[in-house]
Structure 1
């Protein structure tokens, strides 16, 4: 090619580049979550298309395990955003200093009672109730317990499966419910009696519900789960015709359910801060909030989000147990340690209490 022609061609390429700039590569945002995290695929696709942010979901086990991974990787975070730590773990996440503040402009649309963290490092996404569930078919010809203490009597021996509070958020919530209801002096005695009564302890919710609960072919007709689980059972039922009621039900023993709020937070050290902020805004937007109930079986944090019809089976417990964030922060690790000594290691409740 003649030198003049080469110059002409180069100039033409420059002009064309100005008219048709190269399309920017989408940002990849990594979201660390617990194993139960799920979002409607069409909403995710729409978000990625409109924001030019590609979402990568990293499942980190149960909520306790997930938070442990985030804390252990604090110096070199494995994700940009973390979702699914709850009010039982909130103080631990804040004390570990793994989150950075973000005050979303959409906070005004959320239920005010969920806005616990005034540092704006944890944004509420959903709430629900950890509760005892039972398999209806297994209790057609036997009575149900009427109190927490009755769970530890011989009549209900080897019927209950629970999660380890050291690794599981529903397991921790149930432990906290027993502390709130029975008090410091009695809760360990109750757990010692449960141990003697053959309670089964597993690491997380999925194992408890899908392996050991009788609805999944296990041998335990009582399980620590959620007050929305019966609604989910009916929603996913493949029976035809569709049954009029779920095959499971909530066992709302006084003080046995625990109020739970789940949060999203931006991890310190992210290189995708603006993308992370946009994801948080999107997660608490009304369209996403209205899809959350039948994706994750929790109540949306948005106060105007509509609930699906099946949520009439997602009962709200009349007497849920509650502890303040300060109470949980000050005592959580000790309560877990004492529970472990009594239930896992087999020490007596009296010996553990004597060492306080």
Structure 2
């Protein structure tokens, strides 16, 4: 994560997904590019015209959240919000994502937006390492009427700035015609699975980073590198991005790939053979990548920004975002459509590292992994 949409992978002949649900929204980037082009100041194309008689709320996000009207949540959210609140929601998709606003603050320039949609733990750590003054405001307990409906397990900001609105889970996707995926991390090390696993580089991929963090959680800070050495000895293939690894999987180059537990939602929609899209949660766990929204500290539209975030947390809106973004709701009150719920699998035990656990450690863990992998 960062939303995933369907595309036909060139030369593959099978449905592939663009991963974006988590950290960088487009696997390996930070907010991705903007297919509509960018403005002269690099903010990206804005969607929505200003209402001279009402308020305008500028919401920044990653481009895939708004650029596909038939599947992205953005256009639907704008239509619903504008109609109900007699206001104009204006989307902003900076080419460099959150980095665009970090650079503006370092230069003493106002962000030019009221809300950011698409934050995760890693992004918060990055901005806190680079900035001394707050970029986002803390959302008080009384500011949002639905704040208490967010699942406690998905809270990832100890400063209360980011409000979770959805989450994805990293899992194995496997072809049961070729292999029965192991049930544990240790099972992946068995000789019978030699060369069977495709994953992604954690230094350039959100899904790869999540899988690496799950191995740290499973094997400990002192044991994860040894585990990866044994994975290497058993022929794991690490490709640059999620797109690369899923294309290789679709081509039959290996029967297992690190991907998302919503994979069957896409397979069902495209009429794919479900036996080629089985889900396995190693150790009965899935690494969670929640996404959050936050109000810019300098926003002058505090009330409207709060109303927007409360709107996003409504049960019916949570369900719509989940279906369109192919993620899971962040709240306890959303009710998913029956077919979506049938094919979107949640792990028995979600696993994730907290902000405090990742700060100061994430770079060290990934750098150590990269050094070991490069040495072989």
Q: TM-score, normalised by structure 1?
A: 0.73
Whether the aligned pair in 2 keeps the contact of 1:254 and 1:320 (CA below 8 Å) is no
Relative to structure 1, the CA distance from residue 202 to residue 224 in structure 2 (aligned partners, 3 Å threshold; closer, same or farther) is: same
Matched, 1:84 2:114: no
Q: 2:368 aligns with which of 325, 332, 338?
A: 338
Q: What do residues 90-117 of structure 1 show as CA deviations (whole Å, max 9, x unaligned)?
A: 4444554432222323213323443453
Which region of structure 1 is more displaced relative to structure 2, 155-164 or 171-180?
155-164
Whether the aligned pair in 2 keeps the contact of 1:109 and 1:303 (CA below 8 Å) is yes
Matched, 1:298 2:334: no
Matched, 1:162 2:199: yes
Relative to structure 1, the CA distance from residue 133 to residue 237 in structure 2 (aligned partners, 3 Å threshold; closer, same or farther) is: same
Relative to structure 1, the CA distance from residue 141 to residue 116 in structure 2 (aligned partners, 3 Å threshold; closer, same or farther) is: closer
Equivalent residue for 2:137? 100
Matched, 1:31 2:60: yes
Matched, 1:181 2:218: yes
5+ residue gaps, structure 2, are 1-50, 67-71
Whether the aligned pair in 1 keeps the contact of 2:199 and 2:236 (CA below 8 Å) is no
Equivalent residue for 1:14? none
5+ residue gaps, structure 1, are 1-21, 349-356
Q: Cα RMSD over matched residues? A: 3.2
Equivalent residue for 1:53? 88
Whether the aligned pair in 1 keeps the contact of 2:201 and 2:238 (CA below 8 Å) is no
CA drift of 1:173 comes to 1.7
Question: 2:205 and 2:231 mapped to 1: Cα distance?
Answer: 18
CA drift of 1:296 comes to 1.5
Question: 1:330 and 1:82 mapped to 2: Cα distance?
Answer: 24
CA drift of 1:121 comes to 0.7
CA drift of 1:220 comes to 3.9
Equivalent residue for 1:5? none
Whether the aligned pair in 1 keeps the contact of 2:312 and 2:318 (CA below 8 Å) is yes
Whose helix fraction is larger, Structure 1's or Structure 2's?
A: 1
Equivalent residue for 1:221? 255
Relative to structure 1, the CA distance from residue 304 to residue 121 in structure 2 (aligned partners, 3 Å threshold; closer, same or farther) is: same
What SS class does the counterpart of residue 282 from structure 2 fall into? coil
CA drift of 1:47 comes to 1.2
Equivalent residue for 1:254? 283
Indicate the structure (1 or 2) with the bigger Cα radius of gyration: 1
Whether the aligned pair in 1 keeps the contact of 2:285 and 2:348 (CA below 8 Å) is no
